[in-house]
Structure 1
Amino acid sequence: MIRLSGLQKIYQGEAGPVKALDNVSLTVQQGEIYGIIGKSGAGKSTLIRCINLLERPTDGTVTVDGQEMTALSEAELREARKSMGMIFQHFNLLSSRTVLENVAFPLELAGVSMAEREKRVLPLLELVGLSDKKDVYPAQLSGGQKQRVGIARALASQPKVLLCDEATSALDPQTTESILALLKDINKKLGLTIVLITHEMHVIKAICNQVAVIEGGQLVETGSVFEVFTRPQSTTAQDFIKAVVNNKLPEALAAVISDKPAADSNVVVRLSFFGATTNEPVLAGLIRRFAVDASIISGNIDHLQDTPYGTLLIELSGRPEDIQNALNYLHARDLGTEVIGYVARHAYAAC
């Protein structure tokens, strides 16, 4: 549906050229919700604006629905943009127009008759839950309602692609959740391909199928949200995930743990469970098979959309050879196993 190939964007700054995008290539499939996450200045806003050529790349190609956008004339590009809606962080509503008139504005610019505009806009207001606000002005709306107007306006031209530029960044957490649920519903009902950029991992976690992590204008990691979230490869992805998953060691344990084994030391292990493995009695099987004791330090279970995942921090005690056999057993199973460190026997329990 969307294919970016070798994308580069160079700005001329006062101190010389600035490379905002550096050889970016990615593919978004039809009907996906594709997230692009990065810190401020990473290049994500430039990237999403290159998709509809609000920013023209210095090099590389942008292909949308089989059409190479970078090869189009200005007139052809204006026509092609009609198949791509865009919503923004700051809503950009016209204060002197009602909700209905704001949503209808792109149709008005396209020369659609007033009767046809109303016929197309009213179902959109129902879709975003604002049917009762059609004659209200933006100043009378909450932030979440304003963003719903922005979403309806982006859908007015019946686009195939919806681009979301930090669409929830100006909203409180509860309103953010409602907007994300709306985008997911729109994706399901209309089969719309959605590309969104954000600096918040919980947004990616909530609704995206695929994710690209951008840092310094380069893609440092791509993959399914489940893969990146549960087995992050880049430091940037790991930093984002720490914001939504608490993997911090308890203070009492952090005070006594060592990265080097000692005589009679216990092993602290973090287990990560994915999908069906969250329901397996792993610790019970471990204790039955090996002469070790397993003490649970902390744990949690969450969901990545419909897929359960969990983490468990445990302390293994026993003879070194039995502990190693137990670790080999854990490594052989379909779960993540990470040795965090070592503690003297009974040291953590005494804290």
Structure 2
Amino acid sequence: MIMLTGLQKIYHGGTGAVKAIDNVSLEIEQGEIFGIIGKSGAGKSTLIRCINLLERPTAGRVLVDGQDMTSLSEVELREARKSMGMIFQHFNLLSSRTVLGNVAFPLEIAGISRTEREKKAVPLLELVGLTDKKDVYPAQLSGGQKQRVGIARALASQPKVLLCDEATSALDPQTTESILALLKDINIKLGLTIVLITHEMHVIKAICDKVAVIEGGQLVETGKVFDVFTNPQSATAQDFIKAVVNNKVPDTLAALLSDAPVAGGNLVMRLSFFGDATNEPVIAGLIRRFAVDVNIISGNIDHLQDTPYGTLLIELSGKDEDIQNALIYLQDLDLRTEVIGYVARHAHAAG
């Protein structure tokens, strides 16, 4: 559906050239909810605006549904943009128009009659749950309701793609959850391809199928959300995931850890469970099979879409041979193991 190839965007200013986007290539398939995450200034807003050519790339190609957007004339580009709706962080509603008038505005610009505009706009208000608000003005709406109007307006031209530029950043957590649920519902009902940029990992975790991580204008990681979330390869992705998963080693323990085995010491490791493995009695089996004690330092179980995902941070104590056998046992199971380090026996408790 969307293919970016060698995309580059350079801004020229008083301090010289700045590469906002640096040789980015990625592919977004039909019907996906594709998230693009990055910190402030990473280039993600520029990237999404290059898709509909609100920002014209300095180099590279943008193909949408097989059409090369970068080769179109201004007239052709205006027509092509009708297949791409866009919603923004700050809603951008017309204060002098009612909710119905805002949703119908793109149709008015397109020269569609008033009767036909209303016929198209009213079902969209029903879709976003605002039928009872059609005659009120934006000033009378909450932030979440304003964003619902923005979504309905973006859908008025029956687009194939919906671009979301930090669509939930101005909303409180509960309202954010309802807007994300609405976007997921629209994706399913309309088969719409959604591209969503954000700086919040919980937004990606909630509804996205795939994610691209951008840093300094460059793509540093991309893949299925489950794969990136459970096994992040880039430091940037790891930082984002730490914000939503509490699997950090406590500072008091981290200060005592050694990378090399400590004679007569304990092994500290992180276990990650996926899917059915979250229901397995791993710790009970470990204790039954080996003469080791297990101290659970921290743990949690969460869900990525419909798949359960859990982590445990544990400390194994016992004879060196028993600890190594227990480690081999864990590594052979259907879970991910990570040795964090070694600590002298009783040192953690003493600290």
| TM-score, scaled relative to structure 1 | 0.97
The equivalent residue for 1:243 is 243
Aligned residue pair count: 351
Aligned ranges 1:1-351 → 2 under 5 Å: 1-254=1-254, 256-350=256-350
Give SS of 2:120's match. Answer: helix
Letter in 1 for 2:334: D
C-alpha deviation, 1:285, in angstroms: 2.5
C-alpha deviation, 1:252, in angstroms: 4.5
Q: CA RMSD in A?
A: 1.3
Give SS of 2:212's match. Answer: strand
Deviations 1:110-152 (A, max 9, x none): 0011111111111100111110000000011111110000000
C-alpha deviation, 1:255, in angstroms: 5.0
Letter in 2 for 1:59: A
Q: Name the CA distance, whole Å, in 2 between partners of 1:332 and 1:26.
A: 35
Structure 1 residues 12 and 255, CA, compared in 2 at 3 Å: closer, same or farther?
Answer: closer
Contact between 2:246 and 2:300, CA under 8 Å: does it hold in 1? no
Q: Name the CA distance, whole Å, in 1 between partners of 2:60 and 2:20.
A: 13
Q: Name the CA distance, whole Å, in 2 between partners of 1:334 and 1:225.
A: 20
C-alpha deviation, 1:247, in angstroms: 1.8
Structure 1 residues 136-145 or 283-292, which shifts more?
Answer: 283-292
Letter in 2 for 1:247: N
Letter in 2 for 1:289: R
Give SS of 1:262's match. Answer: coil
Q: Name the CA distance, whole Å, in 2 between partners of 1:28 and 1:43.
A: 18
Q: Name the CA distance, whole Å, in 1 between partners of 2:126 and 2:259.
A: 58
Letter in 1 for 2:169: S
C-alpha deviation, 1:251, in angstroms: 4.7
Structure 1 residues 127-136 or 243-252, which shifts more?
Answer: 243-252
Deviations 1:220-251 (A, max 9, x none): 00000000000000000000001111122235
Q: Name the CA distance, whole Å, in 2 between partners of 1:256 and 1:323.
A: 19
Deviations 1:307-348 (A, max 9, x none): 100011111112212211221222222322111222222333
Give SS of 1:233's match. Answer: coil
Q: Name the CA distance, whole Å, in 2 between partners of 1:219 and 1:257.
A: 33
Name stretches of at least 5 consecutive residues in structure 2 with no aligned partner.
none
Give SS of 1:348's match. Answer: helix
Contact between 2:247 and 2:298, CA under 8 Å: does it hold in 1? no
Structure 1 residues 171 and 323, CA, compared in 2 at 3 Å: closer, same or farther?
Answer: same
Deviations 1:29-60 (A, max 9, x none): 11000000001111100100010011111111
Letter in 1 for 2:122: L
Q: Name the CA distance, whole Å, in 2 between partners of 1:328 and 1:103.
A: 61
Q: Name the CA distance, whole Å, in 1 between partners of 2:66 and 2:58.
A: 21
Name stretches of at least 5 consecutive residues in structure 1 with no aligned partner.
none
Structure 1 residues 274-283 or 184-193, which shifts more?
Answer: 274-283
Give SS of 2:233's match. Answer: coil
Q: Name the CA distance, whole Å, in 2 between partners of 1:13 and 1:332.
A: 56
C-alpha deviation, 1:217, in angstroms: 0.7
Q: Name the CA distance, whole Å, in 2 between partners of 1:262 and 1:80.
A: 65
Structure 1 residues 163-172 or 340-349, which shifts more?
Answer: 340-349
C-alpha deviation, 1:100, in angstroms: 0.2
Q: Name the CA distance, whole Å, in 1 between partners of 2:295 and 2:166.
A: 43
Q: Name the CA distance, whole Å, in 2 between partners of 1:131 and 1:241.
A: 38
Q: Name the CA distance, whole Å, in 2 between partners of 1:44 and 1:70.
A: 19
| TM-score, scaled relative to structure 2 | 0.97
C-alpha deviation, 1:279, in angstroms: 1.2
